[in-house]
């Protein structure tokens, strides 16, 4: 009876060193020369190919065998929109029919790609459209990083220079996959993006904040704060019930790198001058940068952005207290690609919850 070979792992979801070992062991069973492992690894990330058939430096028989053993997962580009300001939004269909969005923001020589880490989101922040989708599932490490890989395949000359985990989902609720994805993004044999050009944005999942802080690389951290008091934060962000503001701030004090605090200004909700003073009390001791963001349409129809005067006063109060505060310019509004606007319309089906997501809700 012919033995059936055990299924191989998704090689695009493996950290480069693990991928090298896995491919090397498989090559050895075929009697291939040792140097082939480096050739294959190079074609995963540094000079990626859409399929092994395109790696013409390899023998035809080996390429055919690789297509069977280690097929290279691709996304289907379901939609591509370009904003009047140059921002591009990509809607990707995944292998199981689910869909995610990622957003490319060009600015001079910098090309920042905002990537998703989950399909949907369980957190239900009142100002975010993704939360209205509910949680569908986590992305694998390969699916996270394929958002970058697909753009490299489209045009290697315009590969992203910066990556931010600010797309759909909460990265630190998918830590195992995000942990590997960070390695692939940064590793010299992966995509080779500098750690300081990679930002993880989170609402503050305290146990995994500690895990991120323990990594030696200088990854950037942005925390979605949006309120300087527990009571107000609970009204805007249900996650406050599980990971309290005080515990999040304590975790940030152990973070060796400068932290950015994200703050969406919502008219009549969190934009009062006295709240700017409270925010300065939190940001000052951390030495944090505060990103002030306008509320974008899509999250909640009953909420309105702060007025220009209120926004400027809020910024002025922070700066007067010695806090570096920056009012961010909206990008991609005309294609619903700005912060808090990402949402994929999907057919209803029961939500899939991990134990962690069930506890959050």
Residues 185 and 307 in one domain: yes
What is the model's pLDDT at position 352?
41
Average pLDDT over residues 7-34: 95
Using alpha carbons only, what angle is made at residue 308 by residues 304 and 311, rounded to the nearest 5 degrees? 85
Which CATH number belongs to the domain containing residue 258 in this structure? 3.20.20.70
Residues 153 and 248 in one domain: yes
The CA distance from 273 to 277, in Å, is: 7
- Residue pair 263/223 in contact (Cβ under 8 Å)? The answer is no
Give the domain extent around 31. 13-69
Q: What's this model's pTM, rounded to 2 decimal places?
A: 0.91
In which residue are the tokens 């269909």 written? 93
In a domain, 197, yes or no: yes
Residues 215 and 338 in one domain: yes
Residues 20 and 148 in one domain: no
Residues 221 and 333 in one domain: yes
What is the model's pLDDT at position 8?
83
- Out of 114, 125, 128, 339, the active site residue is 339
The CA distance from 200 to 230, in Å, is: 23
Residues 170 and 42 in one domain: no
In a domain, 282, yes or no: yes
Q: What is the DSSP string of 139-205?
A: PPHHHHHHHHHHHHHH-GGG--SEEEE-SSS-GGGSHHHHHHHHHHHHSTTTT---GGGEEEEES--
Residues 124 and 231 in one domain: yes
Residues 312 and 239 in one domain: yes
Q: What is the mean pLDDT of the chain?
A: 90
Residues 186 and 247 in one domain: yes
What is the model's pLDDT at position 298?
64
Domains in the chain, number: 2
In a domain, 87, yes or no: no
Using alpha carbons only, what angle is made at residue 307 by residues 301 and 311, rounded to the nearest 5 degrees? 115
What is the tens place of the pLDDT at every residue in 131-141?
A: 788 899 999 99
Q: Single out the residue of 266, 265, 261 nearest to residue 286, CA to CA.
A: 261
What is the model's pLDDT at position 2?
44
In a domain, 187, yes or no: yes
| Residue 240 is a catalytic residue | no
What is the tens place of the pLDDT at every residue in 192-217?
A: 999 999 999 999 999 999 999 999 99
Structural Rg of the chain based on CA atoms:
22
Structure tokens that stand for 62 in this block:
């080996």
| Residue 339 is a catalytic residue | yes
Residues 223 and 297 in one domain: yes
What is the model's pLDDT at position 354?
40
Strands (E), 276-320: 289-294
In a domain, 50, yes or no: yes
Residues 271 and 355 in one domain: yes
Task: Categorize the per-residue pLDDT at 7 as very low, low, confident or very high, splitting at 50, 70 and 90.
Answer: low
Domain final residue, candidates 21, 44, 69? 69
Using alpha carbons only, what angle is made at residue 123 by residues 122 and 126, rounded to the nearest 5 degrees? 125
> 5 exposed, middle or buried (CB, 10 Å; 0-12, 13-18, 19+)?
exposed
Strand, coil or helix: 344 = coil
The CA distance from 199 to 218, in Å, is: 10
- For residue 6, is pLDDT > 80? no
In a domain, 4, yes or no: no
Element (H, E) at 111: strand 110-114
Task: Categorize the per-residue pLDDT at 302 as very low, low, confident or very high, splitting at 50, 70 and 90.
Answer: confident
Which CATH number belongs to the domain containing residue 55 in this structure? 1.10.150
Q: Which pairing describes strands 220-224 and 198-202: parallel, antiparallel, or unpaired?
A: parallel
In a domain, 1, yes or no: no
- Out of 32, 88, 101, 315, the active site residue is 101
Average pLDDT over residues 180-202: 97
The CA distance from 223 to 282, in Å, is: 13
Using alpha carbons only, what angle is made at residue 101 by residues 95 and 106, rounded to the nearest 5 degrees? 130
Residues 57 and 143 in one domain: no
In a domain, 79, yes or no: no
């Amino acid at each position: 009876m012919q033995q059936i070979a055990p299924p191989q792992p998704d090689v695009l979801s493996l950290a480069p060193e693990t991928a090298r070992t896995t491919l090397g062991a498989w090559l050895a069973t075929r009697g291939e020369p040792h140097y082939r492992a480096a050739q294959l690894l190079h074609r995963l990330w540094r000079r990626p190919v859409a399929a092994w058939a395109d790696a013409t430096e390899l023998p035809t028989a080996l390429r055919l065998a690789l297509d069977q053993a280690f097929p290279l997962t691709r996304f289907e580009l379901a939609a591509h929109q370009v904003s009047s300001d140059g921002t591009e939004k990509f809607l990707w269909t995944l292998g199981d029919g689910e869909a995610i969005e990622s957003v490319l923001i060009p600015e001079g020589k910098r090309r920042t790609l905002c990537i998703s880490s989950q399909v949907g989101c369980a957190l239900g922040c009142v100002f975010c459209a993704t939360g209205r989708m509910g949680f569908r599932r986590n992305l694998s490490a390969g699916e996270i990083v394929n958002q970058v890989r697909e753009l490299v395949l489209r045009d290697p000359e315009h590969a992203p220079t910066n990556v931010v985990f600010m797309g759909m989902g909460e990265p630190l609720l998918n830590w195992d996959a995000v942990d590997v994805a960070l390695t692939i993004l940064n590793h010299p044999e992966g995509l080779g993006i500098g750690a300081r050009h990679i930002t993880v944005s989170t609402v503050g999942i305290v146990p995994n904040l500690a895990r991120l802080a323990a990594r030696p690389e200088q990854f950037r951290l942005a925390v979605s704060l949006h309120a300087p008091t527990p009571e107000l934060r609970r009204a805007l962000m249900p996650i406050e019930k599980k990971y309290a503001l005080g515990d999040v701030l304590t975790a940030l004090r152990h973070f060796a790198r400068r932290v950015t605090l994200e703050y969406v200004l919502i008219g009549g909700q969190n934009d009062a001058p006295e709240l700017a003073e409270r925010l300065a009390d939190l940001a000052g001791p951390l030495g944090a940068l505060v990103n002030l963001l306008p509320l974008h349409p899509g999250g909640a129809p009953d909420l309105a952005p702060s007025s220009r005067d209120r926004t400027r006063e809020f910024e002025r109060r922070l700066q007067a207290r010695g806090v570096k505060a920056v009012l961010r310019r909206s990008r991609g509004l005309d294609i619903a690609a700005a912060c808090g606007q990402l949402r994929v319309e999907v057919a209803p089906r029961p939500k899939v919850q991990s134990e962690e997501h069930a506890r959050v809700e």
